[in-house]
C-alpha cells in the first residue's frame, strides 16, 4: 500500500520530533498536529499496522526505517516551501514554518519542482534544516548543540531548532542565523548565560535560547563545557 499524503505528513512530523526524543509521546504529537486525539490514535494504529512505526504504550512512537522513508517527500516539500516563501516571496523566516504548513497542501510535484528551481535548488531550509533529495536521501549534517560546545571555540551557526515565533523573531534580531560565524567567549556553569563574540557586536544569551542553536565547530576551544545536555 502506498502511503497517502496524510500518512506522509504524520510521518514527517514524527521524524522531526524524534530528532529530540527517543520516543515521541502521543501528547507531544497531538500538540504539533492539527487533529483530534481520536484521529491521531487512529492514524498511529494505521501506521503501525503498515509497519511505518512502532508504538510503545505509555512511552510513545518511533518510525521504522520504512516510516522514515515515507517521511522524506513531505519533509522535502515543507522545507522547500519554506525557502520559496522566504527567498522568492520575501516572507519573514520566523513565520515560514507555520505558513508552509498551509501553503504546501496545495503543492503538487510540478509546482514543487518549479519552486525548487526558482529558489536555486537549496539544500537547507531558512532555519538550516537539511532538505531531502528528490529520491528521498536526507543529507548528513555534522553539527552539535551550542550548549555542548566548550568556551573558546570558533563556530558557525548551522541550524536554529525552534518553531517558536517569538524566539525566532528575537534570534533573527540578534543575527544568530545559519552561516553566521562567531567566537564563544565564555559559558557560565549551571545553565548560565553564554557570551558570543561576533560582528558587528557580541551578545550575551541565555541557556534556553542557546539550546535552540546548533553549530559547526571550526576550532575547538579548551574551556569548560556549558553543563548538562537537555533531556531527550
Q: Are 230 and 207 a contacting pair, CB within 8 Å?
A: no
Question: Does 224 score more than 70 pLDDT?
Answer: no
- CATH code, 144-219: 2.30.30.90
Whether 5-67 shares its CATH topology with 144-219 is answered no
**Alpha helices per DSSP H over the chain:** 5-18, 26-32, 37-49, 65-83, 96-103, 109-118, 165-174, 207-210
pLDDT confidence tier of residue 222, bands split at 50, 70 and 90: confident
pLDDT at site 225: 53
Beta strands 53-56; 60-63: pairing state: antiparallel
- Domain map (residue ranges) of the chain: 5-67, 144-219
Q: What is the pLDDT of residues 18-40, one digit of tens each?
A: 998 999 999 999 888 878 888 99
Nearest to 79 by CA among 63, 111, 101, 109: 101
- Answer yes or no: are the C-beta atoms of 126 and 83 closer than 8 Å: yes
What pLDDT, on the 0 to 100 scale, is given for residue 34? 78
Q: Quick count: other Cβ atoms within 10 Å of Cβ 105?
A: 11
**C-alpha span between 231 and 223 (Å, rounded):** 23
pLDDT digits (tens, 9 = 90+) for 119-178: 999 999 999 999 999 999 999 999 999 999 999 999 999 999 999 999 999 999 999 999
Q: Would you give the distance in Å from CA 123 to the centre of its chain?
A: 14
Helix-strand-coil percent breakdown of the chain, rounded to 5?
40, 20, 40
* Per-residue model confidence as pLDDT tens digits over 73-101: 999 999 999 999 999 999 999 999 999 98
Q: Cell digits for 34?
A: 492539527
**Cα separation of 4 and 149, whole Å?**
41
Residue 52: pLDDT over 90: yes
CATH number of 5-67: 1.10.10.10
Instruction: Provide φ and ψ at 24, rounded to 5°.
Output: -95, 110
Amino acid at each position: 500500500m502506498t502511503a497517502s499524503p496524510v500518512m506522509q505528513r504524520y510521518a514527517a512530523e514524527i521524524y522531526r520530533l524524534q530528532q529530540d526524543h527517543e520516543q515521541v509521546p502521543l501528547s507531544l504529537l497531538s500538540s504539533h498536529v492539527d487533529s483530534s486525539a481520536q484521529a491521531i490514535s487512529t492514524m498511529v494504529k494505521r501506521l503501525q499496522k503498515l509497519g511505518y512505526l512502532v508504538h510503545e504504550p505509555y512511552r510513545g512512537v518511533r518510525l521504522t526505517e520504512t516510516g522514515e522513508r515515507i517521511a522524506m517527500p513531505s519533509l522535502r516539500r515543507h522545507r522547500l516551501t519554506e525557502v520559496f516563501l522566504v527567498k522568492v516571496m520575501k516572507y519573514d523566516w520566523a513565520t515560514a514554518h507555520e505558513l508552509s504548513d498551509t501553503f504546501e497542501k496545495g503543492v503538487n510535484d510540478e509546482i514543487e519542482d518549479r519552486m525548487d528551481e526558482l529558489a536555486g535548488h537549496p539544500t537547507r531550509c531558512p532555519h538550516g534544516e537539511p532538505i531531502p533529495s528528490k529520491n528521498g536521501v536526507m543529507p548528513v549534517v555534522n553539527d552539535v548543540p551550542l550548549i555542548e560546545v566548550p568556551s573558546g571555540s570558533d563556530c558557525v551557526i548551522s541550524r536554529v531548532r525552534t518553531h517558536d515565533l517569538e524566539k525566532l523573531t528575537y534570534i533573527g534580531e540578534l543575527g544568530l542565523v545559519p552561516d553566521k560565524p562567531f567566537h564563544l567567549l565564555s559559558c557560565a556553569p549551571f545553565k548560565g548565560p553564554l557570551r558570543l563574540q561576533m560582528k558587528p557586536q557580541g551578545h550575551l544569551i541565555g541557556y534556553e535560547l542557546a539550546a535552540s542553536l546548533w553549530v559547526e565547530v571550526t576550532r575547538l576551544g579548551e574551556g569548560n563545557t556549558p553543563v548538562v545536555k537537555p533531556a531527550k
